[in-house]
Each structure stands twice: as structure tokens, then as C-alpha cells.
Amino acid sequence: MTARPADLRRDYRRAGLSEADLASTWHEQFARWFDDAQSLPEPNAAVLATASPEGVPSARTVLLKGYDARGLVIFTNLTSRKGREALAHPVASLVFPWVELERQVVVCGRVEQVSREETSAYFRTRPRGSQLGAWVSRQSAVVSSREVLEAREAALEERFAGQDVPVPDFWGGLRVVPGTVEFWQGRPSRLHDRLRYREDGVVERLSP
């Protein structure tokens, strides 16, 4: 018999997180935990939440493609729902759910567009199929069938045959510039450790 969601319980006992454990900056601490997460299937998978100018939220899983002291970067079709929302109402949240490690990282902050130079540098590292896919998909738009996508792909393969695939002008990077970054470590009896870096450099402990 399938268990009901309310009956599923797990006591987290892998580790704790104290103020003394933390690196001096959020990005150094993120690097530590990201290294620990390399054993997971998709350590760079995160849920990106955006909202429309009217405050209607939306969320989806994305793949982190870079991070440093400036923030965390993803790349996308800028005419997609997330692209339109992030540029029109430039605030967002990223959640890294490293469940197997009994950890999560929650980033909240403003959004800025990555430079075309940085976008182009990343685009050149993508497999050719992914480069073509960026041109094929009018992301988030209704499409009548799979065959339509396959026909576009074939046409673009012919169009760009024997040459590098250029970066579409509608495709680019979004950087979430943290206002806060929370590191969450599961603990027994739901008394979890939650330590949050603020933009002003303060680190604070949150009640679980």
C-alpha cells in the first residue's frame, strides 16, 4: 500500500551546522557545499522562482552554470516565461534541494542580465546540439506537435551547416545577485540549523 504523504517521516542525523563552521563569505560556503554535492546526480539543479509584475509566482527547475562573488548564473531563452518575468520584475529565488545530504541552500535577491561577452563565452562551450536547440525552441510558447520542433531543427542544421552556431539575440544569462543566502542543515526532531548570510555581511541564525 502506498504511504500517505503525511505518514512519511525521516529524522535528519547526518551533520550539524554551527556559526564556527561557516566560511567568511556566502560564495566560499556555497563552494564547500557544492563540492560536497558532487556525488549527487545533478548537483547544479535548482528551483528558480520568479514572479510577474502583478505578483503571480512561477517556479521551475534550472541548471546553475556559474557562480562567484557577484551571484549565481543561469542561461535561458530571454523570451521564455522566466526570462520575461525576471527582466520585467527583477527579483528571484533559487533553491538547491540537496536532499540526500539533508541540506538545502536558499538564495533570494535581485536579477541582472549577464553581459553578451559572458553569454557568448558560455554558449561556445555548449554541445552543438544544445546550441541548435537554443534556436529551435520558442521556449514557453505553445507548439502544435513534436514534429514542428523536429522540422525546425532539421532546417537549422541545414542553415548552419559547416559553420559555428551563433548566439541567438533572444538567448542570454541571468544572474541572481544575493540579498540573502541561507544554508539549511537537517537535524533531529526538526530542530534544523539555518544560518543566513545577509548582503550587509551579517550572518544570522533562523529558527527552524
Q: What residues act catalytically?
A: 190
Percentage helix, strand, coil for the chain under 3-state DSSP, each rounded to 5 = 30, 30, 35
Question: Cβ(49)–Cβ(57) under 8 Å?
Answer: yes
Question: Cβ(122)–Cβ(65) under 8 Å?
Answer: yes
CA dist 141 and 26 (Å) reads 36
The DSSP call for residue 80 is: S
Nearby residues of 208 by Cβ (< 8 Å), 6 or more positions away: 187, 190, 191, 192, 193, 194
Question: Cβ(134)–Cβ(171) under 8 Å?
Answer: yes
